[in-house]
């Protein structure tokens, strides 16, 4: 016989659950896990729409449709002619026995690419004393006067630039030298310093990171490269693409690397080596020195300097990261304005891209007005809800189209050469403060002259109460959304 359940018995069961799973909250009633997630469900249903199910395209990154030559052969990771020129350059550099300058970018991908080049040159016989590394100053670029002067001081005969982006410009330095640029950012064939050799992956999907491209170039030059540099390749790639990607064709087989070094240690090392460039101190030279002295990812994870830098970044994220996003008039761009001397705008953009969702949202922009005086540094990401669309979201294209809608047709030029650059799904740059305010006005986002301030912090919960923290997060966003018309189409996606 089927057992009947009375309303009274259900009530007793729920009361029992409440007594078993209480969560303390300062100066307030007891809450239960059931009540927390009831609030979450109500908040999410309010903004839910068909097709809002989260997707994780990083897992299928390797499946991108590749370019092929006339014979049907895959062109990857870069055009063969460019790769061969790069190999010849590296062989010549090692054999010449002259001063060599490596100029890596400041992030995990760029630093790993630089370390791979350095190890390869040493394996090929170049004296380590002849190899120097230069990391550029905060907010500086390769063709800036201070960078050119500092590089000139090393008196290099060979210069290898990695992951810095590439623009058409004068020679890297004025004195005689040979230069190689390895990159994967958006660029045309002539977008490189005068006289330099350019090898770029940006037109050969699935687009390889600079560290992966460098590894594939160097792997065939010396048999010891694979063992010595495999973990650097994975660390840099995961630092740029995320650790959800799968190492399947056309990506190289890295099983030998994963047998020697755990995925967890490699992923953690990427997080730690990325930390110094995000702090206000911006001690990237020390991060470079730490990396080239490391023999495994565990050396990075245990390093006290990197641990302290990571702690500073986490603290700054909590301090400056609680800002309510504002939508553009067409609801395609969500703008989050922060004020921090740390380079945390990219981290916040990546995090918010996972949490914010709406039917029309295509770009999450985080603008940092405190990183450098007089300019706004920004990072843009494609939100999870907009990935996999056909045609795919192109951030630089969307930003340029938005700027072109301005009544003042000089705005696009005044935004500068660092506007709308990078990748299609991850773009960042630097805009003069006044022009940034104009851009916000054009896209229909309320512009304020005062510096942005963090939204009120939620009530603090007892230490160790992860569930309570999750509830506070849900409560904060739901109340903000109800209070702000600009955020009615946005809601956080709860982490599972």
pLDDT, tens only, 372-425:
999 999 999 999 999 888 899 999 999 999 999 999 999 999 999 889 988 888
Contact 311, 341 (CB under 8 A): no
Residue 333 has pLDDT above 90, yes or no: yes
Contacts of 375 (CB under 8 A, 6+ apart): 139, 430, 431, 432, 433
Of 135, 139, 136, the C-alpha closest to 375 is 139
Please tell me the predicted confidence (pLDDT) of residue 36: 42
Contacts of 311 (CB under 8 A, 6+ apart): none
Q: How confident is the model at residue 165 (pLDDT cuts 50, 70, 90)?
A: confident
Contact 472, 487 (CB under 8 A): no
- Coil/strand/helix, residue 159: strand
- Coil/strand/helix, residue 28: coil
Contact 328, 444 (CB under 8 A): yes
Contacts of 228 (CB under 8 A, 6+ apart): 119, 123
* Length of the chain measured in residues: 496
* pTM of the shown model: 0.76
Report the C-alpha gap between 231 and 364 in whole angstroms: 31
Please tell me the predicted confidence (pLDDT) of residue 139: 87
pLDDT digits (tens, 9 = 90+) for 119-130: 999 999 999 999
Question: What are the CB-based long-range contacts (under 8 Å, 24+) for 17-26?
Answer: 23/465, 23/467, 23/468, 23/471, 24/462, 24/465, 24/468, 25/459, 25/461, 25/462, 25/468, 26/459, 26/460, 26/461, 26/462
Which domains, and CATH codes, for the chain?
A: 80-309 (3.90.1640.30), 322-456+476-487 (3.10.310.40)
* Eight-state DSSP code of residue 291: H
Rg (CA), the chain: 25
Task: Give me the mean pLDDT over the 27-34 stretch.
Answer: 40
Please tell me the predicted confidence (pLDDT) of residue 80: 96
């Amino acid at each position: 016989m089927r057992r009947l359940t009375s309303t009274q018995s259900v009530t007793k069961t729920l009361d029992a659950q409440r007594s078993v799973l209480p969560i303390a909250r300062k100066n307030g009633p007891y809450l239960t896990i059931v009540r927390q997630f009831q609030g979450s469900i109500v908040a999410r249903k309010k903004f839910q729409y068909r097709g809002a199910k989260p997707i994780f395209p990083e897992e299928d990154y390797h499946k991108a449709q590749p370019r092929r030559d006339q014979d049907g052969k895959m062109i990857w990771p870069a055009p063969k002619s460019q790769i061969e020129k790069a190999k010849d350059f590296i062989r010549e550099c090692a054999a010449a026995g002259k001063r060599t300058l490596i100029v890596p970018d400041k992030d995990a991908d760029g630093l790993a690419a630089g370390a791979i080049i350095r190890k390869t040159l040493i394996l090929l016989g170049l004296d380590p004393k002849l190899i120097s590394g230069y990391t550029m100053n905060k907010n500086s670029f390769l063709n800036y006067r201070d960078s050119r002067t500092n590089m000139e001081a090393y008196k290099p005969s060979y210069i290898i630039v990695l992951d810095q982006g590439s623009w058409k410009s004068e020679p890297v330095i004025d004195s005689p030298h040979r230069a190689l640029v390895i990159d994967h950012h958006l660029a045309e064939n002539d977008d490189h310093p005068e006289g330099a050799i350019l090898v770029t992956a940006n037109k050969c999907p699935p687009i390889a990171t600079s560290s992966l491209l460098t590894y594939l170039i160097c792997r065939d030059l010396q048999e010891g490269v694979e063992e010595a540099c495999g973990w650097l390749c994975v660390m840099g790639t995961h630092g740029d693409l995320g650790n959800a990607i799968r190492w399947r064709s056309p990506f190289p087989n890295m099983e030998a690397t994963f047998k020697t070094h755990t995925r967890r240690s490699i992923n953690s090392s990427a997080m730690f080596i990325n930390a110094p460039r995000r702090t206000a101190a911006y001690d990237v030279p020390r991060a470079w020195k730490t990396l080239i002295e490391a023999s495994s990812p565990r050396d990075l994870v245990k390093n006290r300097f990197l641990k302290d830098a990571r702690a500073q970044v986490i603290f700054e994220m909590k301090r400056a990261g609680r800002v309510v996003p504002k939508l553009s008039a067409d609801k395609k761009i969500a703008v989050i304005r922060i004020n921090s001397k740390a380079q945390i705008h990219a981290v916040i953009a990546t995090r918010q891209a996972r949490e914010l969702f709406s039917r029309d949202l295509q770009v999450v922009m985080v603008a940092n007005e405190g990183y450098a005086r007089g300019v706004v540094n920004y990072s843009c990401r494609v939100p999870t809800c907009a990935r996999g669309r056909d045609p795919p979201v192109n951030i630089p294209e969307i930003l340029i189209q938005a700027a072109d809608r301005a009544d003042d047709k000089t705005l696009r030029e005044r935004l500068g050469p660092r506007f709308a650059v990078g990748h299609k799904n991850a773009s960042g740059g630097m805009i003069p403060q006044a022009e940034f305010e104009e851009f916000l006005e054009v896209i229909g986002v309320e512009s304020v002259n005062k510096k942005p301030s963090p939204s009120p912090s939620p009530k603090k919960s007892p230490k160790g109460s992860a569930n309570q923290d999750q509830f506070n997060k849900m409560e904060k966003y739901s109340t903000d959304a109800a209070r702000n018309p600009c955020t009615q189409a946005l809601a956080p996606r709860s982490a599972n």
